[in-house]
Amino acid sequence: MLFLHAALVAVAAGRGSGDNPTDGFEKVELADGDFMVQSPYNVPESQRFRYRDGVRTFWVYKTDMPFNTAIHTNPRSEAMIRGHEYSSGVWQFEGDGYVPAGTSGASVMQIHTAGEGSAAHETVLMLHVYDGVLRFYNGAAVQRSIYDRWFQLNIVHDVAASTVAVYVDGRRSRAVHKASGAFLNSLCSTMTQQRLTDLAIIALESGLLDKIEYEDIIEEFISRNTKRMKLFKASVFAGTALRRRFGASVIPGESYYFKFGVYMQHQDQSSCMESRWANVTLYTKQ
Ligand SMILES: *[C@@H]1O[C@H](CO)[C@@H](O)[C@H](O)[C@H]1NC(C)=O
């Protein structure tokens, strides 16, 4: 629990103080080629993505195809930041984002896992938009009114501490997401994933963190049901248990990258989903 304590202290110190989230970080140089766009395979990229005057605009329709024929995921138009995958240290995404009114049921930002040790569909963070509210997955609200304005988004991922802090317009979100293990986003039911996400958030929000071993609760929850056990064995269970025993940095092949744009989710989808991004910058500190 030592790492978690350190993370909470940092949260308390940063809250409300108006600190610049990038203080103490080093900028990572990004080239245009480091942004790899994934868009529906059956239409030209230019019909779902535009890069003009420094603004990347992503949009998809509810009826669109996945980004290639080998997968059956929901439609997306997203850019992944490639060539800067990380497996240790503290990494920060910064960008100016814009979500036009009407867009709903879409993820606009993800921290995705990469590498051999991970299943293809794991994330440690997704920010979804439902009816103008930016949320952690389908759960806690990060920002209650997100439509039709530029907002600055900063996301700080501390790999060793397994924490993700989200700032909107320089203000740290009250809800803090504990990136405990990895949450599946489409291999198994959204409901199960959501319960786990909520559990992690509740643990932090209620200040119970040093009183309960909530990772044990998650493991207990999984182990009571054989199907859950199978689904989660290779991901959450292994991730959480290994991380606790050996520390995050030694999980073989586990690394992360940021991606942003629009990725349709499983409820309340609008017929068209769109987000725009400018000034995307990556920072790190070891
Ligand atoms: C991008 O950054 C520049 C310089 O800070 C700023 O003037 C501009 O408004 C930003 N763009 C958006 C869309 O926020």
Local mean pLDDT, 10-residue blocks, the chain (286 residues) = 34 50 97 96 97 97 92 93 95 98 97 68 90 94 96 95 92 64 36 46 40 46 47 42 41 80 96 98 95
Which pLDDT score, from 0 to 100, does residue 175 have? 59
Dist. CA 94–CA 266, nearest whole Å: 27
For residue 203, how far is its CA from the centre of ligand 1 (angstroms)? 36
Ligand 1 centroid, distance to 210 Cα (angstroms): 41
Report whether 251 contacts 242 (CB < 8 A).
yes
| Residue 87 neighbours by CB distance under 10 Å | 18
d(CA 99, CA 142): 14
Hey, whose CA ends up nearest to atom 1 of ligand 1?
A: 279
Domains of the chain: 2-187+253-285 (2.60.120.200)
- Write down the residue that tokens 């900028």 correspond to: 27
H-run or E-run covering 202: helix 190-205
Using a 6 Å CB cutoff, which residues line ligand 1? 96, 150, 278-279
Q: What is the pLDDT of residue 29?
A: 97
List beta partners, residue 78.
Answer: 38, 261
- 168: CA distance to ligand 1 center in Å? 15
Q: For residue 150, how far is its CA from the centre of ligand 1 (angstroms)?
A: 9
279 CA distance to ligand 1 middle (Å): 6
Structure tokens at 281: 């910058």
Alpha carbon distance 62, 262 (integer Å):
11
pLDDT at position 239 is 43
CB 66 within 8 A of CB 40: yes
Residue 262 sits at φ, ψ, to 5 deg, of -135, 135
Tokens of 150: 């530029």
Q: How many CB atoms lie within 10 A of CB 3?
A: 16
- How far does the centroid of ligand 1 lie from the alpha carbon of residue 153, in Å? 12
In a mutational test of the pocket of ligand 1, which residue from 22, 96, 276 has the highest number of ligand atoms less than 8 Å from its CB?
96
Angle between helices 214-223 and 190-205 (to 10 degrees): 160
Q: Name the residue among 260, 276, 269, 271 with its Cα closest to residue 130.
A: 269
Per-residue model confidence (pLDDT) at position 42: 94
pLDDT at position 18 is 57
Query: What are the structure tokens assigned to 94, written together?
Result: 């910064």
DSSP-derived secondary structure for 130-186: ETTEEEETTSSEEES--BTS-EEEEEEEETTTTEEEEEETTEEPSS-EE--S-EESS
Mutual orientation of helices 214-223 and 238-246 as an angle, nearest 10°? 150
**Measured distance CA(200)–CA(196) in Å, rounded:** 6
Give me ligand 1 centre to Cα 231, in Å. 43
Of 52, 279, 281, the residue with max ligand 1 atoms within 8 A of its CB, to mutate for a pocket test, comes to 279
Structure tokens that stand for 159 in this block:
């790999």
Give the number of the atom of ligand 1 that is nearest the alpha carbon of residue 98.
13
> Whose alpha carbon is nearest atom 6 of ligand 1?
279
* pTM of model > 0.85: no
Ligand 1 closest atom vs CA 278: 13
